[in-house]
Chains A and B, each alone.
Chain A
Amino acid sequence: MLTKVHPERLFIGSIMLAFALLIMATVGIKPQLLQSLQFLILFVSLLLVIWIGIKAGKFDIITNRLRNRAVGWLIAATFSTALWSFAHKSTQLVFPALKEFRKIWNTFEPFALFATVVFILFALILFIVGSRDSKLERPGFIERSLVHNLSSKIAALPMVLTAVGVFVIATLWTVYHSFTNSRMLPKSEFIGLAQYERLWNSDRWYMSIENLAIYGACSLIFSLVIGFMLAALLDQKTRFENTFRTIFLYPFALSFIVTGLVWQWILNPDYGVQKIVRSLGFDSFVFNPLYNMDIVIYGILAAGLWQGTGFIMCLMLAGLRGIDQEIWKAARIDGIPMWKTYIQIVIPMMRPVFITTLVIIAAGIIKVYDLVVAQTSGGPGISSEVPAKYVYDYMFGAQNLAQGFAASTMMLVSVLIVLIPFTYLEFGRRKNA
């Protein structure tokens, strides 16, 4: 509601916004503009601090239970000031040793400056809000967001920064440049949707998508089914279970390139299966999937399954082991046949495992690249191309960054189209349950 503005929330929000802008400016998106914007927003938050101070009226610093925290932020501000000053000539003249790490200090400089300002603001706000809120029984918003579980927040910060930096910023950057005519180097010259038009007019892209669809559907179904069946078999108190598990898991330890090469040999008519069967006397036997445009993708699929199924089996086995043995006993006493117990009781109980597995398999499908490169290099012709290879080839082979970006943006969009309803369903279910 507009009548009840929460200056504290605005404050935290603006600090976060300023931080996001700082990161974007550092990454290189509109550096000057975003930097000045960021300090503008920091200024706004300073004004907010003053406003909160005025609204708070009377201060009672002595009884302020947050005083230590505020002092802590001040100390942190001192440290970051020091860090900031390390990048400056005058400090480096006093401490010559600092010069050796000049590059590091220069990287830290903007962050240190930003941190100084933010920490001082934090300290101020804790003094002000804290002296007001310390009379409240329940911690206020600021106290909860700045003080509560502080150490875990600090510990999570590097990961949050990485996630924001890699996933959000880099993604935005990619999408942004897919609308430009960047070739070898990123440029900011907008040409609208031209890259996408070109993409969707390309036979190679269509072929890639078709292949990905076939590969994806088959690999999803087969690795789930085979992985689950193997796990269910191993779960029957099999002897030598460890041995089997190791054998099935071995391929996972190989890199895709090695798997690809191995399977290229196996499927190669001159060295592999065809040769062996022919040498047994079946002279007209033909088996050369990698040289047949219609079925080449299934050759790649075989290698992919061989590599991935063992891992899926291990995940499933862990899930099966997590099921209470007494559930099995209860089902046996109830007279439920084994297959029905699996389908109606055990698999629904393993839902979280299945979701994890699904995500892992899906990620593997989207990024399939090295297998293709090692087995066929996309051939014969373009019949085994996949989207990831398209992106890579355009970005680094054809030196057409923007085209590669457009293709990767399309991949991202399709992933989101699948993912958003899925998470929505999951999330909604949680809420209802």
Chain B
Amino acid sequence: MKYFDNPERMVLLLRQMLDGLGVTMTLFALTLVISLPLGLVFALLRMSKLKVLRFPVWLLILIMRGTPLILQVFTVYFILPQIFGMSFERMTAVVISFGINYAAYFAEIYRAGVEGIPQGQREAAHVLGMSRAQAFFRILLPQMIKRIMLPVSNEVITLVKDTALVTAIGMVELYRVARNAASASGSLEPLFVAGIFYLILNTLVTAAFDAMGRRLDYYKG
């Protein structure tokens, strides 16, 4: 054992890992801030009556869900700059690719959530004179949110773990810190500690979703 029986080393490792955790959390938070609303925009376009709006979003979602996220990160970080002659910070490139990728998943979850609401709700809104926008924001969206809590929580949990992918373009986050320490010391213990960090994060995510689920429990249907 190199870390678990050596408190000084352990403290040093934990301190480095907390820095890495900061990067991980930043990526996590920025991705959600972008993808949760962007997914709604994608979902609305995807459900549009106009094919010119529907088709490009359908294609984008197909590509985002149909290719590895890591390739998308490479594309934004290495290939787009060559085409357009601009370069991104690593974090910017990663947040763009993660944001769009997760928005694609959220869009499909939102769409399934809206389409699962009985047609009668839309019709009731219509005969009460509500516009399509009023019906969406007042009647469908609130009911959709309750229906999508579980699949959204799955995605958010996956996102916590997906942040480790960005080591592939050289970003130093939680997993990278652990891996560096592991190779420097020849011990797997840092990776184990990293695992505990991810587990703690996802325990918090799960608790947050449980709490939101309880708050939405005031009605049924």
- A and B together in one complex: no
Chain B residues close to A by CB (< 8 Å):
none
